Amino acid sequence: MTETVVQDNTRASLEETWYLKNITFTPPGSDAPKPFKIITQNYNGPCSFIAICNILILRGDIEILPQDRTSVSYEQLAQLLAEFLLTSKTDVDIDSALATMPVTRKGMDLNPLFTGITSFRPATDGGELKLFEHAGIKLVHGWLVDPASHEYQTVSKIGDYDTAVHLIAEADHLSRGQLVPEHAGSSPSSVQGDHSLSPENEEKIRDAYVLRSFLDSTSSQLTYHGLFALASELEPGALVALFRNSHLSVLYKSSHPEDSALYTLATDQVFLREASIVWERLEDIDGGWSTFVDSAFVRSTPVGGDYAGETAQSTLAAIEGDLGALTLEERADLQLARQLQEEENQRLNAMEAERHRRLAEQEQQQKLEEMAKEAKEARKKERKSKKGDCVIM
């Protein structure tokens, strides 16, 4: 086996093994917080599968044992999830849901409708939606069009994301490329003079312009109307799967009488050693105002003192120390992880160096401009002084 194949196999092994983080949480129907082990996501781990498992863990439906376990593999979680589905839904056919489980390793094909937080149209055979249905997990999104907006009539008529994309592609062909990104400044009027278009095709093009504008302005796949709908329609204490940014995360609505806020579970592995970062408060559509909170939903004060707590490099070092005596395979995994982290550090250092270079150039340019301005002002004063010294005969 070549070195490249070994590295590829080790990388695949790393990507399907996830570290566990200890948190406390008060599950639905309970009055006191309990300890849980949630799954953190590394590299480009399967957010759909991890979100489903974390919801089941926080509900108490599945449990990762033994208690001192520090990591878990896809195979172990898939077995827990399959056992839960088979024992909890004995009166229904769950073949489509079980068949969808392997798909969650690479992402799920979900097609949201722009008119309701729980509205999704089935993709392919609909197994994705069956998986959530049989697991008893509500799937939601906040990618909603505001009924008060000028685009509501068109967007609601088309309905869902897949149909919108197909219509835009068709209209782009009908309008000879007028809807592609580089023609973003075009308008429907630019093709209205084309008498070869039928009234039906002209309507498709007009609708496509509205749809493209809506999709461009809601690139985070969350709108303020959708955020308000999530906050108002979800029940207090609800644990649901949130589809956003083509990503699936755990969404929780606070059950506290004085706090009806929405929170997403912080599962990025960079927070693995940061006990005070457990949830992220969902306060706006692009994350600019979001804040992190701890297990008690109190604004966090990270030990590391920065946004992300410890760095990925220090996390790896801590993991290595926790594992103690490592097997050869585990050492190979850690070595590759360190190599990948070093590559990422080099990339970030190069970006930082480029940023400093640009800043230095800007500062130098600004100094030159200021010096030129000062010289110009000095020449003006000199000319005025010379005029004052002249004697008119």
Q: What is the pLDDT at residue 134?
A: 83
Chain segment 286-324, per-residue pLDDT in tens: 877 778 999 999 998 666 544 444 444 454 555 555 555
Chain segment 223-270, per-residue pLDDT in tens: 999 999 999 999 999 999 999 988 899 999 998 877 789 999 999 888
Confidence class for position 36, pLDDT limits 50, 70, 90: very high
**Number of CB atoms found within 10 A of residue 382's CB:** 10
Q: What is the pLDDT at residue 367?
A: 65
Is the distance from CB of 280 to CB of 290 less than 8 angstroms? Answer: yes
Task: Output b/e per residue, 340-352; b: 16+ Cβ within 10 A.
Answer: beeeeeeeeeeee
Q: What share of the chain is helix, strand, coil (3-state, %, to 5)?
A: 50, 15, 35
Q: What is the pLDDT at residue 273?
A: 86
Pick 134 or 362 by higher pLDDT: 134
Q: What is the pLDDT at residue 239?
A: 96
* Least confident piece of the model among 16-25, 111-120, 297-306: 297-306
Is the distance from CB of 247 to CB of 220 less than 8 angstroms? Answer: no
Pairing of strands 291-293, 279-281: antiparallel
- Phi and psi torsions of 103, nearest 5°: -65, -30
Chain segment 262-279, per-residue pLDDT in tens: 999 999 888 888 888 999
Q: What is the pLDDT at residue 207?
A: 92
Is the distance from CB of 114 to CB of 159 less than 8 angstroms? Answer: yes
From CA 241, how far away is CA 62, in angstroms rounded? 16
Average pLDDT for 92-104: 68
Chain segment 160-188, per-residue pLDDT in tens: 999 999 999 888 888 777 665 544 445 55
Please give the model's pTM, rounded to 2 decimal places: 0.71
Average pLDDT for 204-223: 92
Of all residues in the chain, the percent with pLDDT exceeding 90 is: 34
372, exposed or middle or buried, with CB in 10 Å at 0-12, 13-18, 19+? Answer: exposed
